[in-house]
Amino acid sequence: MAAVTFAPPATRFRSFALTFFLLMQGLDGVLTYVGVATFGMAIEANPIVAALMAQLGHGLGLLSAKAAAAALGVCLHVYEVPVVLALLAGFYLTAAVAPWTVILFF
């Protein structure tokens, strides 16, 4: 019978931080797309994302911004700074995902 091994807590935290960050990026992307489709471009508060969406179209502009953010998050994961990654994910939860949820569903 093979022994079951578990990852050390530091490795689990790194994996959790990356997963949480990528989940927040995905949720922010979907909610932003729905918000812009519902209320128009004026509701997007990030001027860089708004400019990308204006130049490339809503879907492609938003996808490029979220892909860049996700790639930078993976870089933080590779360079082993999970605390920064977790803090950024928490920031996205409170500054992007939660407000969009309130605007769209309440």
Rounded to an integer, what distance in angstroms lies between the CA atom of residue 100 and that of residue 90? 15
Asked whether residue 10 carries a pLDDT value surpassing 70, the answer given is yes
Section 50-70 average pLDDT: 97
CA distances from 67 to 11, 42, 70, 75, 87 (A): 24, 22, 5, 12, 19
Percent pLDDT > 70 in the chain is 95
pTM tops 0.75: yes
Structural domain boundaries in the chain: 11-105
